[in-house]
Structure 1
Amino acid sequence: MTSAAKFQFGVAGMGVMGASLALNIADRGFKVAAWDRHPEKIDEIHAKHGHPEMKGTGSLEEFVGMLERPRRILLMVTAGAAVDQMMDRLTPLLSPGDVVIDGGNSWFQDTQRREKAYREKGLHFIGMGVSGGEEGARHGPSLMPGGPAEAYALLRPVLEAIAARAESGLCVTHVGPDGAGHFVKMVHNGIEYADMQLLAETYDVLRRGLGLSADALADTFTKWNEGIAESFLLETTLKVLRKKDAETGKPLVDLVLDKAGQKGTGKWTVQVSLDLGIPVPSIASALDARNLSAMKDERVAASAKLPAPPLTLTAEEKANLISWAHDALYAARVVTYAQGMRLIQAASKEYHWNVSLAEMARIWRGGCIIRAKLLTPLREAFTQQPDLPNLIVSEAFAPVLTKMAPAWRQLVGTATRLGIPVPVFSSSLAYFDSYRSAELPQNLTQAQRDAFGAHTYQRRDKPEAGFVHSDWS
């Protein structure tokens, strides 16, 4: 390629995230080539931003030809078939050693397949999770690239330039081979589902239980966000609670219909957890909560036939519900992160990725949606013990959870008595209690399986006997 090919990086797909990332890269001094199948989008970006380091085209051939080699091309297109279609179109235009990055939320096994297919053609493929939304993409996201190490080395200067910066460093690292980056981003999103639901449950208990207004809740969350519960999602929640509707003057959140949507990554997280045999009940309960919210008409009809208990609190509950909710929120969050980290750990072992959980905590500390203060002790826990079996037994968190468990139980008990659903608080507590229990009732389950299906069982008093069957009649 001649010196006329001045563009150092290409971004294909000028939607909100693609345009934001392209502008971010250009801001850092890299000359960016942009492509979109609707060239008018590029014209709109130029009209609005007029960035001198960025040039666009509607021709894929011209786009590829503008790039210096080895080419570095970021795809920001819809996950699924569109990625394969773009790869097929790009393949004949590329040269050995070129790198294509999928920056969408792709299924990690698709990424494994695509990386293998490109590798066989002498090309590099990177699957990269991008977190932080439009604002993060524009000014500093958390980036989770997975793929060949030599390809990451080619991308590293650009990715480090655009990544968020936290006290722990730049929020990007080479996650691991093939699908590791997209797997980690998927679990990140699963944790996000549960964290958002925990905040919704906290809001609901304090709103219905104590009758707190949106402003009063925002005041409470503002105080919480100054302590150990600090997080981007909590900060976002208090901003949402403060917003007033321009037409009515009412809190805008009170006018939002209670039907939550989803894009699939939470569902994928739960599916993979079943495949790997790693329980993630907090994430699964958050997914169920969204699905239940979609049944609005059925819920309204059921509310007329299934009356709720009276919303009356004891003096103790009135005095302590806010502090119970604070401790329960923090404890349930820790348990949620513990489940997500355990799932990443299991997948890393299964697929030989060698993912560093301490590094994941580090790059999540800035830029991303689930950034939170608790990620600092989380990182320390996995730094001290990389093979830690579960975060909740770490020296950093076990004493804290033990101290907060009584308040957590009070919060769940009070909500249950009042008929206020707290599925993620409840399932997180059940996970905590199950994991800390030396004895569980699955001895009965295993006996039942043997009684009706001769599935065998192990005797605790004769472990050397292996699996045995009994006649239970």
Structure 2
Amino acid sequence: MSEAAGAQFGVAGMGVMGAALALNIADHGFRVAGWDRHPERIDALLKKNPHAKLKGFSSLEDFVQGLERPRRVLLMVTAGAAVDQMMERLFPLLSPGDVIMDAGNSWFLDTRRREELCKSKGLHFLGIGVSGGEEGARHGPSIMPGGPQEAYALVRPVLEAIAARAESGLCVTHVGPEGAGHFVKMVHNGIEYADMQLLAETYDVLRRGLGMDADSLARLFSKWNEGIAESFLLETTIQVLRKKDAETGKPLVDLVLDKAGQKGTGKWTVQVALDLGVPVPSIAAALDARNLSSMKEERVAASQKLKGSAEQLTPEESSQLAAWAHDALYAARVVTYAQGMRLIQAASNEYKWNVSLAEMARIWRGGCIIRAKLLTPLRESFEKQPTLPNLVVSDAFAPVLERMAPAWRKLVAAATKVGIPVPVFSATLAYLDSYRSPELPQNLTQAQRDAFGAHTYQRRDRPEAGFVHTEWNK
């Protein structure tokens, strides 16, 4: 990079994602400045990936001074206190009109707070969701920016250049104001939790129910991935199942300890769903499944005390189980996405973000972790009816769910019969059954609340009478 030419974009934080994004931006012809609090990271990056458009700085002051105005600084640091600390270090170095972008997985209310703080200092702030992992960051992620339109306009050319490309266009759009971008990315990750667990349950049912090994499962899933079930996560699952351990020659997945970790976005999704009164049982069940998996020692001990089912699958169940699993996986995935979209819709209404659900489906079609073929009819459903209350009643998906529900029920029944846990399949089916039920048993719940706590209730035969109380013990 010429010393006389200032960098057009700055990336602060040269970890895995920051380095990949910096190289992606440089590949598209933009002059990039990189900084990290560990200068050796910059040195290692440039030694491995020398790039005429990328220049590293060991001093934060020099890094900022090396940027063209208005300065555009992308923070790729750990979410939480580290973001606030970096912003405090940057404030004295920046000028009015400069843009700070946070591309980590930040809590959306923190993003709203940070935007207000920047506004008070004459600075722009964008909270940017980035999905696709290291590979996506390097070659084309799905990007979900939220914040002021004028700030987005200043960085739009760069974000559009580096974003993934799908048949529906560039996988980036201005999501909405304030924390909208980080909120949508959070929900994306919540859906990801549930989708991963559905695949894990499918794997478990076929492995334990039919005795299928990793190779045979990879072959079956490869066939599925050629049809409506096609998705990045299914493709990733196939890769995982095919990988052999270099030491033993066994499928590596069979040697991985069954304890799953998490970084918090799934938990946030469930928490905010409770705050907004939106049911997301698929995501909650996936979160619980990870938490239960961490109790490895207790589970092993419990297996000695609590014997499982002695039931066996019938010949008919065994012959149909794989077909049932295919339909159940697709249907449950649709209903899971429906819950996520409903949550985004509720937050958009609450915070007046005006988020387009069709646009979210469009930018998720490439680059991101939950990209899947079903996102195309999902997008078309919300284009046709932007205020669609729930994806499950759309013209595209309602008939499919009707057709696939019987197989889904049979899969859950068969798994339950032989004692194979399918928490997300079960919770998602219960959500669908509850949503389609004109009558639910909460009449009893409300009567109980009135009986012990005088919480009142409404009469179905006289709703115009309002809330009434009864002395139930008299």
User: Normalising to structure 1: TM-score of the pair?
Assistant: 0.99
Report the equivalent of 1:176: 176
Report the equivalent of 2:143: 143
Q: In structure 1, how many angstroms separate the alpha carbons of the residues matched to 2:427 and 2:313?
A: 23
Q: How does 1:11-410 map to 2 (within 5 A)?
A: 11-310=11-310, 312-410=312-410
SS in 1 for 2:33: strand
Q: In structure 2, how many angstroms separate the alpha carbons of the residues matched to 1:318 and 1:342?
A: 36
Q: In structure 2, how many angstroms separate the alpha carbons of the residues matched to 1:311 and 1:161?
A: 57
SS in 2 for 1:320: helix
What one-letter code is carried by the residue in structure 2 that aligns with 1:50?
P
1:303-322, Cα deviation, whole Å (9 max, x unpaired)? 01111113621111011000
Q: Is the 8 A contact 1:35 1:58 kept in 2?
A: yes
What one-letter code is carried by the residue in structure 2 that aligns with 1:72?
R
Q: In structure 2, how many angstroms separate the alpha carbons of the residues matched to 1:471 and 1:256?
A: 58
Q: In structure 1, how many angstroms separate the alpha carbons of the residues matched to 2:155 and 2:7?
A: 14
What one-letter code is carried by the residue in structure 1 that aligns with 2:131?
S
Structure 1 unaligned segments of length 5 or more: list them: none
SS in 2 for 1:73: strand
State the Cα distance separating 1:110 from its structure 2 match. Answer: 0.2
1:396-438, Cα deviation, whole Å (9 max, x unpaired)? 0000000000000000000000100000000000000000000
Q: In structure 2, how many angstroms separate the alpha carbons of the residues matched to 1:4 and 1:115?
A: 32
Q: Which moved more, 1:37-46 or 1:403-412?
A: 37-46
SS in 2 for 1:172: coil
What one-letter code is carried by the residue in structure 1 that aligns with 2:109?
Q
SS in 1 for 2:126: strand
User: Normalising to structure 2: TM-score of the pair?
Assistant: 0.99
What one-letter code is carried by the residue in structure 2 that aligns with 1:127?
G
SS in 2 for 1:227: coil
What one-letter code is carried by the residue in structure 1 that aligns with 2:258?
D
Q: Which runs of 4+ in 1 moved over 6 A?
A: none
What one-letter code is carried by the residue in structure 1 that aligns with 2:159?
L
The alignment status of 1:459 with 2:459, answered yes or no, reads: yes
SS in 2 for 1:40: helix
Structure 2 unaligned segments of length 5 or more: list them: none
CA RMSD of aligned residues (A): 0.9
Q: Which moved more, 1:455-464 or 1:307-316?
A: 307-316
Report the equivalent of 1:421: 421
Q: In structure 2, how many angstroms separate the alpha carbons of the residues matched to 1:451 and 1:310?
A: 42
Q: In structure 1, how many angstroms separate the alpha carbons of the residues matched to 2:238 and 2:41?
A: 34
What one-letter code is carried by the residue in structure 1 that aligns with 2:124?
H
SS in 1 for 2:34: strand
Q: In structure 2, how many angstroms separate the alpha carbons of the residues matched to 1:410 and 1:462?
A: 40
What one-letter code is carried by the residue in structure 1 that aligns with 2:203?
Y
Report the equivalent of 2:471: 471
Report the equivalent of 2:8: 8
Q: In structure 2, how many angstroms separate the alpha carbons of the residues matched to 1:432 and 1:5?
A: 58
Q: In structure 2, how many angstroms separate the alpha carbons of the residues matched to 1:446 and 1:218?
A: 49
Q: In structure 2, how many angstroms separate the alpha carbons of the residues matched to 1:103 and 1:311?
A: 50
Q: Is the 8 A contact 1:132 1:142 kept in 2?
A: yes
What one-letter code is carried by the residue in structure 1 that aligns with 2:68?
E
What one-letter code is carried by the residue in structure 2 that aligns with 1:162?
I
State the Cα distance separating 1:29 from its structure 2 match. Answer: 0.1
SS in 2 for 1:127: strand
1:438-468, Cα deviation, whole Å (9 max, x unpaired)? 0000000000000111000000100110000
Q: In structure 2, how many angstroms separate the alpha carbons of the residues matched to 1:228 and 1:239?
A: 19
State the Cα distance separating 1:364 from its structure 2 match. Answer: 0.2
Q: Is the 8 A contact 1:107 1:182 kept in 2?
A: yes
1:374-410, Cα deviation, whole Å (9 max, x unpaired)? 0000000000000000000000000000000000000
Q: Is the 8 A contact 1:209 1:311 kept in 2?
A: no
Q: Which moved more, 1:304-313 or 1:246-255?
A: 304-313
